Structure 1
Amino acid sequence: MTDSTETTAKGYEGNGKGRLEGSVIAVAGAAGPAGQATLLRLAEEGATVVAADADAERLATAVDAARFAHGGATVTGDTVDLLSLDATRAWVDRTEKEFGRIDGLVHLVGGWRGSASFAETDLADWDTLHNLLLRTLQHTSLAFEAPLERSGNGRFVLVSAAGAAKPTAGNAAYAASKAAAEAWTLALGDAFRKAGGEDGPAAAAVILVVKALVHDQMRADRPNAKFAGFTDVKDLAEAIATTWTKPAEELNGTRLWLTPKP
């Protein structure tokens, strides 16, 4: 898949309308296990799903899986450089022009760097994580703010980590990046609140907090591991889909914990 290449499924008669029928939802960082599960769930609920990732090959696989599993949905894939604000805004413009609206952005761009101790922290890890976890979020939030407000029921969803609230010595760079991403998302929520005025926000910025994620391949690779407190990517995908069924005013600017608070 190259830039602006799309994979689309249309015209298949499904078994009924889902909760997200008529919605157009973008997923950033869609090629990983969490992204794959999210594409499947959103497609199952009837949404038009617009997926983006920097890895064209893995993205094509994820899009194809959602497309063939739920033929009643439209699923597209586009390689986007989210480290470029211009490229991110161009992605938004293409999406809104083609589908007429954007009702959600699910931010799943991730990465991890850590060390054995605080003293051994490599500040190069901060640079990497700043780009992956924060800069991409800044670009998606700035680019999607206006379309999500125009939607009337827009959602900006960030998946964060419990470590942001209780950092450990070897995860200083990771936890700080996640904490900064949460603060940025809450600021977006305040923008939605102010734009809504007395009528309340027309869109919601919400943070889903996990300890870590687990998927079927991880369990197969480590059959004796317990993965205590981990959130299955399928459960994460369900929590993401459910955010559109709750009032924006109730969700906006909140953290929803999918694991016990530390």
Structure 2
Amino acid sequence: MNAEAVDEGVRGRRVLLAGGTSAAGRACASALSDAGAQVLVVGSDDDRLAAVSTEVPGVAVERCDLTDAHAVDALRDRVHAAYGPVDGILHLVGGWRGGGGLAGQSDDDFAFLLRSLTALRHVSRAFDDDIRASDAGRLAIVSSSAVARPIAGGANYAAVKAASEAWVRAVAQGYGKHARDAGHDPAAAAVVFRVKSLDGLEDALAASFVALWDDDAEAWNDVTIDIAAPV
């Protein structure tokens, strides 16, 4: 793949970064914007959203509690009214809590981690029609290598990430079924990115997400991609 081909694939697409005020979100916003996409960053903290606007000029920002289903529905309506339907979503709502072996897997920590899955459910359902109607719809999440190699001290975290991957795979099946039922080639794809840690891999994640528009949906749907630091 060359940069020009990637740029052409995502150029003109409208992409929503859910929980996109982190370093990874800013890297993705910058890469998408540079490639010609229209970028909408959604977060829950006004100061962090303002920082994104300053660091990545031209991106749009929206404040929303993505764990609130009614707020997400209202977000969708605002996005449609202001910008139109979206072609892509990258789910970046996350965070880590753990340690202390199995005994340390507290209910409070589990509730904190579960917010990511709750937000994923709300966002993917609210914008499902958009992604399926797009001629190049893409949904992706950032998961963890802990799903494949869970440890007792990260049981809460691995369990939530595994559930999130299962949700995305179910979404992928829905995209495929929709295409088959309509009698056309798949146009939407749901993808899982796995990392051990995002520290230092923000640009690699951004490049991998942008590249999802460089191939047909069938090449990406229900695919898990490991992103690792260069050897």
TM-score (norm 1): 0.81
Offset of 1:80 from its aligned partner?
Answer: 0.6
2:45 is the alignment partner of 1:55? yes
Aligned partner of 1:110 in structure 2 is 94
* Higher Cα radius of gyration: 1
Match for 2:195 among 201, 210, 215?
210
Cα distance in structure 1, aligned partners of 2:102 and 2:126: 35
Tell me which of 15, 18, 42 is aligned to 2:7.
18
Aligned residue number for residue 192 of structure 1: 175
Aligned to 2:22: 32
* Residue 138 of structure 1: how far off its partner (Å): 0.4
Q: CA deviation at 1:169?
A: 1.2
Matches within 5 A, 1:41-52: 41-52=31-42
Aligned partner of residue 139 in structure 2, secondary structure: strand
Alignment partner, residue 156 of structure 1: 139
Cα deviation digits, residues 91-145 of structure 1 (max 9, x gap): 12221222233110110011111022112221221111112x2100000110111
Q: CA RMSD in A?
A: 1.5
Does the CA contact (< 8 Å) of 1:204 and 1:253 recur in 2?
Answer: yes
Contact persistence 1:51–1:77 (CA under 8 A)? yes
4+ runs deviating over 6 angstroms? none
Unaligned runs of 5+ in 1: 1-16, 68-73, 216-231
Are residues 1:96 and 2:80 paired? yes
* Contact 1:205/1:253, CA 8 A, preserved across alignment: yes
What is the rounded CA distance, in whole Å, between the counterparts of 1:151 and 1:97 in structure 2?
17
Instruction: Give the SS at the match of 2:26.
Output: helix
Question: Given residue 117 of structure 1, which amino acid in structure 2 is its aligned partner?
Answer: G
Q: Taking every aligned residue pair, what percent have the same amino acid on both sides?
A: 35
Deviations 1:225-261 (A, max 9, x none): xxxxxxx10111111111111210111111011139x
Tell me what 2:67 maps to: 83
Q: Does 1:237 align with 2:227?
A: no
Q: 2:122 is matched with which residue?
A: 139
Q: Partner of 2:3 in structure 1?
A: none
199-208 vs 133-142, which deviates more? 199-208
In structure 2, C-alpha distance between the alignment counterparts of 1:258 and 1:120, rounded to whole Å: 29
More helix by share: 2
Deviation at 1:50, TM superposition (A): 0.7
- Counterpart residue type for residue 211 of structure 1: K
